[in-house]
Amino acid sequence: MISISHLSKTYHNPDGSTLQVLRDVNCEINKGEVISIIGPSGTGKSTLLRAMNLLDPPTGGSILFDGEDILAKDYPVHKLRQKMGMVFQNFNLFEHMTVLENVMYAPCKILKMSLEEAREEALSLLRKVGLADRGDDYPSNLSGGQKQRVAIARCLAMKPQVILFDEPTSALDPTMVGEVLSVIRQLAAEGMTMLIVTHLMKFARDVSTRIFYMQDGIIYEDGTPEQVFEKPRRSATKAFVQRIRKQVFEIDNSEFDFRGMESTIRAFCIKYNIADRCDRAIEITDLMQEVVMSKYMPYTLRITHSELSGESAVDFMVEGLENSPMKDPAVDSAFLKKLKALSSDIVEEPTTRGFRIKIIL
């Protein structure tokens, strides 16, 4: 369906310097594929999408859409974009139109659909994204998740053959990510061809038929989710997909700002979508500090989360210690019972630097 070869994109800054964002992108995209594009920030993931529908025209290479060269001079770009929808990070709903008008506008004006037909169509699309009752509202009255669902409906109204999602959940409050993802999942199930730039590894693995791992302006690794996430061929890919998110606190005396730590932990949990584990994590740090760790200061506290496995943990590390602090007489069975109720496992391990207690949430 889409064939991209040797695609490159170089930005020329006003000061004369240049920035090559895409170096040499080659890929084939077939009908029905759901491709997630992952990779570190600034490696050209969004630029690739924007180059494909010519919002940021590439500076080299070729793109064939159904065998037609869309970079040819006289190629009608707006016709291409009618077949290739796009959903933006910031929704970009038309603020002066109602929700229903947002969805109806392009079909009426471009496809010359009758008002009646367009309204029917728009209502059924809004029903599909769960917003049929908000048709007369203006976008400013909607939440972020609702706006993005309207944007998806607006895109679908043009009956595109492929949809490009440019970080569709990045601008959303974490509590609203789910509603948008479920709409995208539904589209995947219906066989819509999609390219999705995302930072959500778990979602990418679940929904995609194929993963592009991008780095340094090229598609560094291209494979099925199983292959890219479980058995990555290249070390950079491995490091990226298996990376562990963490937040570190150095607790050196009893004057430490525990309240500040609590709110940082909350922010961490919300950011990585593990808000349900937040209260337990905080309760564990309080309990441990109170009963055990106050005697072992200074120590290092970490909260970690692996996006791929979904495993989160709180660990306590005391440098230069050989025996587990859990052997302390203050650790009685009541305390251990309490701790086990909050966690799924407790690992005590000596390391080269000292002794670590890892409590898996």
Partner 1 sequence: MKRFGTIVLSLLLLSSCGAEKSRNLDIRSEADLSGLRVATITGSSYEMDLSKRDDISLTCYNATSDLLQALLTGKADVIVHDEVVFNPRIRKENGIKIAFLSERTSATALMFNKSDSELAEACSKVQRRMFDDGSMQRLKDFWLEGEYFRTGELKHIPDEGTGEPLRVATCASSAPLSFYVDGEWYGIEMDLVRELGRELGRPLDIKYYDTGSCIMTLKTGIADVLCGCIFITPEREEQFCFAEPYHYYHPAYFVLDPDADKEQLSIWEWIKKSIQKTFITENRWKFITRGLWATLRITILAILLGSLLGALLYRMKISRHPIDRVIARLYNSFISGIPQLVLLLILFYIVFARSSVPPDLVAVIAFAMYFASSAASIYDTSLSAIPRGQTEAGLALGFTKVQTFMQIVLPQAIRQALPLFKGQCISLLKGTSIVGYIAINDLTRAGDLIRARTFDALVPLLLITILYFIMVWLIGILLNLLYPKKHVL
Binding residues (CB under 8 A) for partner 1: these are 53, 55, 78-79, 81-82, 85-86, 88, 90-98, 101, 104-106, 108-110, 115, 154-155, 158
Rg over CA atoms, the chain? 25
The minimum distance between CB 86 and partner 1, in angstroms, equals 4
Closest distance to partner 1 from the beta carbon of 232 (Å): 33
Report the alpha-carbon angle 230-303-265, nearest 5.
Answer: 125
Those residues whose C-beta lies under 8 Å from the C-beta of residue 317, and which sit 6 or more positions away, are 299, 300, 301, 302, 351, 353, 354, 355, 356
Q: Which two tokens stand for residue 195?
A: 């390219």
CA distances to 163, 180, 190 from 153, in Å: 11, 11, 15
CB of 119 to partner 1, least distance (A): 9
Burial of 321 (0-12, 13-18, 19+ CB in 10 A): middle
We find the least distance from the C-beta atom of residue 17 to partner 1, in angstroms, to be: 18
In angstroms, the CA 337 to CA 263 distance is: 26
* Cα separation, 356 vs 236, whole angstroms: 28
Q: Which is nearer to partner 1, 110 or 248 (CB)?
A: 110
Q: How far is the CB of 76 from partner 1 (least distance, A)?
A: 9
Helix (H, G, I), strand (E, B) or coil at 21: strand
Place of tokens 């920030």: 41
Amino acid sitting at position 17:
S
Which residue lies nearer to partner 1 by CB, 37 or 282?
Answer: 37
CB of 79 to partner 1, least distance (A): 7
In the bound state with partner 1, the residue whose beta carbon lies nearer, of 78 and 337, is: 78
Q: Is the peptide bond before 174 cis (omega within 30 degrees of 0)?
A: no
CB closer to partner 1, 58 vs 225: 58
Peptide bond into 298 cis (omega under 30): yes
Degrees to nearest 5, angle at CA 314 with 238 and 234: 5
Q: Which is nearer to partner 1, 147 or 280 (CB)?
A: 147
Cross-strand partners of 358? 315, 347
CB closer to partner 1 out of 22 and 122: 122
CB of 155 to partner 1, least distance (A): 8
Q: Please, which residue, 72 or 334, has the CB nearer to partner 1? A: 72
Q: Which amino acid is at 304?
A: T
Minimum CB separation of residue 77 from partner 1 in Å reads: 8
> Among residues 54 and 326, whose Cβ is nearest to partner 1?
54
For residue 341, what is the DSSP state? H
* Between 154 and 356, CB nearer to partner 1: 154
Handedness of CA 58, 219, 188, 143 (dihedral sign): negative
Q: How far is the CB of 104 from partner 1 (least distance, A)?
A: 6
291/331 Cα distance (integer angstroms): 7
